[in-house]
Amino acid sequence: MAMRQTPLTCSGHTRPVVDLAFSGITPYGYFLISACKDGKPMLRQGDTGDWIGTFLGHKGAVWGATLNKEATKAATAAADFTAKVWDAVTGDEVLTLAHKHIVKSVNFTEDSTCLLTGGNDKVLRIYDLGKPEAEPLEIAGHTSAIKKALWCNNDQQILSAADDRTVRLWDKNTKEAVKTLAFDASVSSMEYIPDGEILVITYGRTIAFYNANSLDLIKAVDAPASIHSASLHPEKDFFVAGGDDFKLYKYDYTTKEEMESYKGHFGPIHCVRFSPDGELYASGSEDGTLRLWQTAVGKTYGLWKCVLPENLDGKYNTAI
Amino acid sequence: MESSKEQHLFETETCLIILNVAFDQYNASLLNYFFFFFLPRLMTFILEIKRSSGLRFRRVLNETPVSVLRLPRGPEPNSRGFDPTSPRFIALCPTTLPSSSSSSGSADEEEQRLRAELRERFLRTLLLMTGKRVRFDMHEHVRVHARFGASDIDVLNLQVCDLETPLGVQREALLRSQDVIACSFEV
């Protein structure tokens, strides 16, 4: 019996959702934070999409949001020239880090002690969260606005993607660019998979996979439309991508074949991420909604319920 | 498709000609207009809709949408969330007890020790209760007997077997701890 995917729509945002991030798996499940142009990032329960709280305080569009592994801290990057660190349990603002321009990306280290920020001022900054008054470590080199900055290789190196169509690998200690990748089109998104050291980069209509240490190309796939974001399944079986044509595409990672495409959003998809257990993926769109999609359609998980074929036929009506 | 369009056009033209003639010849009334022009067009339109929707319906029938228990809960309009009564908040939030000086420090330690002892006693009682026939005193003067099975990690629910209720004996049941006032059993 063929099952049709039922996406779960998480409403609440009033403007486009531009970034989303999952936490690691905690004893209380896993969590999802969404960054929105309405300036109010929201924290949600990862497996059900239930709203938990809204981080109030930013005075401009929030361009980037992230959670630490234990989902105890959250960080957001906004157009009001600040990056803020929040307590993800109480929702209180813990720290405000002033910048000289719009901040686009934030990322915690694995132990949540340092925060990496990058934005339109073209400089990467590393803040020590134990000493917030101290000056941050600055890494300059990009020639235009930084779109995404990530820690990689055990938090010893930094990957950054900018509007100058390059992706650079920096060493944290020497503050020098170890490697640079140049592209024909602006890089729209970047995802780092620590287990396997894979980097997922999207530009134009291409979704490319690179080795995060050597920045060697592993494989590249072309999609039917311009792609804004892609995410690789934790088990590296498949990846999902979404872009301008409002559809989500699911590809087999090994064969690079398109497996499925899903319609549902009413606007271009800005961000797509797999959950840490790989059971679902979330997509954020210009239409202001987040949608949760099942990886294994029909499986009982979260709010989705598996219905046995007998019950559908109506032959067996007796209750157990 | 094209031929049917042409046919429609032909029909329309014919109708219009008839109508023109009719206006001249008879007292053109709305009724005439309705029967000779409007109704045939409406019938064709309805038939076309039925045909196309029928196809769509058949395709949809082949795939069953995955059923969903409910929709994700949305934000509350008047609050920023972060429910202080949620288990995660209670477990992870720093305590709101005032920082103690050295003199009252020992009093706090003593209280902590007593609390730990009482908690241990409670947990051991729960262990001892498993498998035994227990009497549960609940709200609204409800008193039931059942065989205690287990409680969940936060002691929010109690799993019991053979629960004797006025409606009969329930083979398996879950009692909400907040409804239970007291439970007693023979050691």
Mutate to test the interface with A, among B88, B90, B95, B171 (most CBs of A within 10 A): B88
With cut-offs at 50, 70 and 90, classify the pLDDT of residue B24: low
What are the residues of chain A with a beta carbon less than 8 Å away from any beta carbon of chain B? 1-6, 8-12, 28, 42-44, 48-56, 72, 89-91, 292, 294, 297-298, 303-307, 312
Amino acid B20: pLDDT: 63
Q: Do A4 and B66 touch (CB under 8 A)?
A: yes
pTM (2 d.p.):
0.69
Q: Which of the pair, A107 or A312, is modelled with greater confidence?
A: A107
Q: How far is A282 from chain B (nearest CA, A)?
A: 13
Q: State residue A182 phi and psi, 5-degree precision.
A: -110, 145
pLDDT in tens, A47-81: 999 999 999 999 999 999 999 999 999 999 999 99
Q: What is the DSSP letter of A26?
A: B
pLDDT in tens, A90-99: 999 999 999 9
Amino acid B47: pLDDT: 67
Amino acid B11: pLDDT: 66
Q: Do A50 and B73 touch (CB under 8 A)?
A: yes
- Tell me the count of A-B CB pairs closer than 8 A: 93
Q: Identify the burial level of A308 via C-beta atoms within 10 angstroms of its C-beta, where 0-12 means exposed, 13-18 middle and 19 or more buried.
A: exposed
The ipTM of this complex is 0.82
Average pLDDT over residues A154-168: 93
Amino acid B59: pLDDT: 47
The H or E element that residue B32 is part of is helix B30-33
Comparing A33-37, A260-264, A281-285, A314-318, which segment has the lowest mean pLDDT? A314-318
3-state secondary structure of B161: strand
Q: Which of the pair, B45 or A300, is modelled with greater confidence?
A: A300
Average pLDDT over residues A180-206: 93
Query: Which chain A residue's Cα is nearest to B69?
Result: A303
- Residue A207 near residue A239, CB atoms below 8 Å: yes
Taking 60 as the threshold, does the pLDDT of residue A22 lie above it? yes
Taking 50 as the threshold, does the pLDDT of residue B98 lie above it? no
Taking 90 as the threshold, does the pLDDT of residue A16 lie above it? yes
Question: How remote is the C-alpha of B18 from its chain's centroid?
Answer: 60
Q: Do A6 and B67 touch (CB under 8 A)?
A: yes
Comparing A38-47, A252-261, B85-94, B117-126, which segment has the lowest mean pLDDT? B85-94
Taking 70 as the threshold, does the pLDDT of residue B4 lie above it? no
Q: How far is B68 from chain A (nearest CA, A)?
A: 5
How far apart, in whole angstroms, are the C-alpha atoms of residue A146 and residue A125?
Answer: 11
